[in-house]
Amino acid sequence: MHLDADVLVIGGGPAGCWAGLAALRSGASVVLVDKGYVGTSGAMAAGNNTVIDTLAGSVERQRSVDQRLRLGCGLADAERLERVMDHTRASLDLLAEWDYPFPRREDGRPYRGMLRGVDNLRFLRQRLIKGGARILDHSPADALLLDAEGAAAGATGFDRRTGARWRTDAGAVVIATGGCAFLSGAIGTHNLTGDGYLLGVEAGATLSGMEFSGQYGISPVFSGVTKGIIYFWATLTTAQGEVIDPSRDKRTVAHHLLRGPVYAVLDKASPRLQEGLRKGQPNIFVPFDRTGIDPFRDKFEITLRHEGTVRGTGGLLLTDGRAGTAVPGLFAAGDAASREPMSGATSGGGGPNAAWAIATGGWAGEDAAAFARALGPRARERTRRSANAPAPGAGASSRVAAEIVAQVVTEVRKAILPLDGGYFRTEASLLRQQALFDGLWRDPAWRTGLPGSREAEALLATARWVTQAALLREETRGTHRRTDRPQSDDRLAGSFHLRGANEPRSLFAPFAEETFPYRSAVR
């Protein structure tokens, strides 16, 4: 299938949907492709999502900005925070104009600080279709197309159900594929394997903040739900009955988990609060109900589940203060983009992450449409080449090849997911990971050309970038915890940028002197 569009959006979560809608509102034609089904795939679709809704100049706005700056460990950007929140509020106003059914307060006023994921995405999907966008579900992209000057000019991919190939020639491309949680089982992250990072880097884009990926969410051992709000009202104990107080140091739970099981009971929640939690976050309680556990009375075992860059920070570097990357015509949004200006070195959590997705999605769609419009008729006349030259298959049967690919994924997960691999880091542990990942990367046996091998390649590439960035940052800052470097170093108040897939190159950009050098200095 060969399609043409002014703007191609890769990824159908909130960032991708808002990018598509913004491009349509700018007069562009849009094709949107997603690895899953637009409306049910991705992290947002898995639950309720808070969002920052504040008016510029208000006390609430200043409080939100101050909180992000305080938690950002010196890397968040006040000016960008203000613009993100301005755009988010304008987008929520648009939803109201479109008669989106916001939940209502007790007095009947709409409450815009919470978006029920699957309902919101279904609504956005309908707006896209009514606006004329062409949506390809279950159709992951596996390579970007570049023109003779190196500008993004479309992408290729395949239909997961039929195996049929598709190609879209576009004036500009938006990557909104989400982050990477390394198949940890965290709710809503199963199809988030770093695909967009690999697509972007192969085309010449830069990564930033990949070391800020040691984000873990607390969850029952029998569930992938990592929404941590309920644990504010929990009593945590070890198997020996010792009470754990995580209020002073959130790493306390992780330290105890390295030594043995940890249990929780939500015994501090009043009856009214229990009712409110069940109504406001019903998906949290489905696993408990299925197993017959009353979490407000019964102890249950907990764990910390890896959320990586889905709830962490790192991603494709935005070089223009909006959504542009170092590649002309290529834009990034949501979790696929580095969230350092919004969250610094820490997890933004639901509200800031949702605001970032909405704002960068809108900017990406607007700017992609403008880029395509500036090309005029030349957009469709450009010669195109693939940014990815797939390695030849090893000649193994499909069954054997699939087993080899699965083994690569297993090795990556075994190294990244454990607490002493991704949560707590040392130079020694990181060097072991680097040796393992580099060895796997250079082995051609698993690059079979099958769909699963491309996903495994993205997962492994992301693991390599995370490890290299973590080695470079010889300090502890935010979600990057170096137990051999437990203090923060003021000299490292900046970003580590990485470029390239096979032999990644690095550059340190001090925060105060950020000049986005990759436009010309490094190729």
pLDDT in tens, 41-99: 888 888 878 899 999 999 999 999 999 999 999 999 999 999 999 999 999 999 999 99
Section 1-8 average pLDDT: 97
3-state secondary structure 154-175: EEEEECCCCCCEEEEEEEEEEE
Strands 235-238 and 243-244: antiparallel
SS3 content of the chain, % helix, strand, coil (to 5): 40, 20, 40
Give residue 390's pLDDT: 56
Quick one: pLDDT band at residue 408, thresholds 50, 70, 90?
Answer: very high
Same domain? For 129 and 236 the reply is no
The reply to whether 498 falls in a domain is no
Given a cut of 70, whether residue 522 has pLDDT beyond it is: no
What six digits make up the tokens of 321? 């203060």
Indicate whether 392 belongs to any domain.
Answer: no
Query: Which run of H or E residues covers position 304?
Result: strand 300-306
Task: Say yes or no: 177 and 224 in one domain.
Answer: no
pLDDT at 450: 73
pLDDT bracket for residue 404 (50, 70, 90): confident
The reported pLDDT for the residue numbered 512 is: 59
Q: Can you give the pLDDT at residue 72?
A: 93
| pLDDT tops 50 at residue 283 | yes
* Residue 505 included in any domain: no
**Same domain, yes or no: 40 and 16:** yes
Q: Are residues 39 and 136 in the same domain?
A: yes
The answer to whether the beta carbons of residues 344 and 73 sit under 8 Å apart is yes
CA–CA distance from 418 to each of 214, 435, 471 (Å)?
10, 17, 18
For the stretch 97-100, contacts whose Cβ atoms lie closer than 8 Å and that sit 24 or more positions apart, written own/partner, are 98/123, 98/127
Which of 112-116, 263-267, 298-302 has the lowest average pLDDT? 112-116
Query: Quick check: 426 pLDDT over 90?
Result: yes
We report the CATH number of the domain holding residue 486 as 1.20.58.100
Report the alpha-carbon distance of residue 120 to residue 100 in Å, rounded: 8
pLDDT at 400: 67
Is residue 396's pLDDT more than 60? Answer: no
Same domain as 245, residue 317: no
What b/e string do you get for 131-162 counting C-beta neighbours within 10 Å, with b at 16 or more? eebbbbbbbbbbbbbbbeebbbbbbbbbbeee
Split into its structural domains, the chain has a count of: 3
3-state DSSP assignment of residue 180: strand
Q: What is the pLDDT of residues 318-376, one digit of tens each?
A: 999 999 999 999 999 999 999 999 999 998 777 899 999 999 999 999 999 999 999 99
Residue ending a domain, among 365, 386, 407, is 386
Give, as one character, the DSSP assignment of residue 449. S
Calculate mean pLDDT across residues 240-264: 91
Residue 237 and residue 106 share a domain: no
Instruction: Indicate the residue type of 78.
Output: A
Is 497 a domain residue? no
- The enclosing domain of 266 has a CATH number of 3.90.700
Confidence of residue 212 (pLDDT cuts 50, 70, 90): very high
Q: How far is CA 39 from CA 11, 117, 178, in A?
A: 11, 8, 14
Residue 6 has pLDDT above 90, yes or no: yes
pLDDT of residue 307: 95
**Six token digits for residue 194:** 């770093």
Among 35, 43, 52, 37, smallest CA distance to 14 is for 43
State the pLDDT confidence band at 516, using cuts at 50, 70 and 90: very low
Which residue's entry shows tokens 């490890």? 467
CB-based contact 465:501 (threshold 8 Å): no
End position of a domain, from candidates 271, 306, 341: 306
Q: Are residues 76 and 182 in the same domain?
A: yes
Same domain, 178 and 240: no
Band of residue 513 on the pLDDT scale cut at 50, 70, 90: very low
Question: Does residue 228 belong to any structural domain of this protein?
Answer: yes
CA distance 399 to 395: 11
- Could you give the CA distance from residue 334 to residue 441 in angstroms, rounded to a whole number? 27
Structural domain range at position 443: 398-492
Residue 282: what are its φ and ψ, rounded to 5°?
Answer: -65, -30
State the pLDDT confidence band at 394, using cuts at 50, 70 and 90: very low
Q: Are 92 and 53 contacting, i.e. CB atoms less than 8 angstroms apart? A: yes
Q: Are residues 224 and 280 in the same domain?
A: yes
According to the model, what pLDDT value does residue 515 have? Answer: 41
In this predicted model, what pLDDT tens digit does every residue of 12-52 receive, in sequence order? 999 999 999 999 999 999 999 999 999 998 888 888 788 99
d(CA 238, CA 296): 18
Q: Are residues 221 and 83 in the same domain?
A: no
What is the phi/psi pair of residue 450, to 5°? -75, 155
CATH number, domain with residue 172:
3.50.50.60
Does 420 fall in a domain?
yes
Q: What is the average pLDDT value for the chain, to the nearest integer?
A: 92
pLDDT for res 523:
23
Give the closest residue to 199 by CA, choosing from 427, 461, 495, 17: 461
Clarify whether residues 316 and 198 are in a common domain. yes
Residue 521 located in a structural domain? no
β-pairing, 165-175 vs 330-332, is parallel
Q: Indicate whether 391 belongs to any domain.
A: no
pLDDT in tens, 441-482: 998 888 777 777 899 999 999 999 999 999 999 999 999 999
> Do 10 and 88 belong together in one domain?
yes
